[in-house]
A and B are shown apart, each in its own frame.
Chain A
């Protein structure tokens, strides 16, 4: 499963079979697997022995109240934070064994991230924001911008291509951020409360766009949210309470 092209445009598959979106299709080996994760912030435990798997192409919602460890789990799985104990395997490779250089390369090529807000570069237009990850990966400027335009189109914000983040609504900026997270053709998108700063309807539309596009592209999504209506767009739910996955945490 490595014949994918970097910076693939919309509509280009990834070689695997399309995901049916029911969450019932599974592969033998999970794309991302955490085993016995333990992490403390100072003396406050954030994760206590958490094991969770993300299969290729599925959308997994990690839910739970504030302070339950959701974001810490996302950071560990994305290789942003190293756990105190336990391991994270991505496509069979253990993240904790990778040198920092390889890890950051992996994050650039295989992972996309979306946060609640503030991830777009304020000085750049929406188009250039989306083109940026491709250019950092070595794609030429004009091809990168062409691809960026296609992804903005896909998220319904091509009309905002020349707008800077401050000139867009929260929902439009978040759609541009999703386009930027997906433009490099990542296999996993980590989305931390992607609708948290939006009103109800805008949040709904952003989440619908993310779910639809990720399924179409076969991209797996690890979605952190405290909102059940947002989690309902996922195929499964993993529920954290006090740093532990609750029983029945994974509901098919």
Chain B
């Protein structure tokens, strides 16, 4: 998550000062970790340094003096470039289940037994999540988050099933390496 681009995005609707940006960020991304004030100000200073934002003016509105910032033309172009840029889909495969299977093969362990046990644990968790979302009175957010987790666990399971089927070949390849 690029804080500088998110702040640029918030500035797109008009000049804003740091406190206001922090408040709007936390409103727009309620499930995200709240932004620290310090991070907002540091990021704004960097945006100014890089020519992506500039000072719009200062005012106090009767309170402490605040500096308002606005996006520059270059900042607007940069925001547009970033928002349309494809996020690399899973650039690094660093899953613990995958790692355990490979290590197990390398060390002469029993990856098939591990996969069966892991599969049972996954199914157990899927049953729990299914019970949670099937419970009377489960709200939409609960159902959606359970669905999200269930689909990811299901993806793991599919990979584990395929891996079980491939294990013979896989073992031969690792042995040869």
Contact = CB atoms under 8 A, between A and B. Distances in A.
B120 interface: yes
B116 A247 contact: yes
Size bracket, chain B contacts: 20 to 34
A232 B127 contact: yes
Contacts of B117: 248
A98 to B, nearest CB: 35
A97 B161 CA distance: 38
B124 A229 contact: no
Residues of B contacting A: mostly: helix
Contacts of B113: 247
By CB atoms of chain B within 10 A, which of A21, A65, A228, A237 has the most?
A: A228
A175 to B, nearest CB: 16
B76 to A, nearest CB: 40
B26 interface: no
A247 B110 CA distance: 13
Contacts, number: 42
Given A208-B134, A212-B134, A251-B123, A229 B116 contact: no
A211 B122 CA distance: 20
A212 B136 CA distance: 10
Interface string B103-125: 00000000001001101101110
Contact of B120 (A21, A65, A232, A251): A251
Size bracket, chain A contacts: 10 to 19
B40 interface: no
B130 interface: yes
A192 to B, nearest CB: 20
A169 interface: no
Interface in A45-82: 65
Contact of B154 (A228, A247, A248): A228
A21 B136 CA distance: 14
Given A65-B161, A228-B157, A232-B150, A251 B124 contact: yes
Nearest to B151: A229
B158 to A, nearest CB: 8
Contacts of B119: 248
A115 B157 CA distance: 25
A232 B116 contact: no
B123 A232 contact: yes
Nearest to A21: B131
By CB atoms of chain B within 10 A, which of A65, A232, A251 has the most?
A: A232
A229 B120 contact: no
B126 A232 contact: yes
B123 A228 contact: yes
A228 B116 CA distance: 14
Interface of A: 21, 65, 208, 211-212, 228-229, 231-235, 237, 246-248, 251
Interface of B: 113, 116-117, 119-120, 122-124, 126-127, 129-131, 134, 150-151, 153-154, 157-158, 161
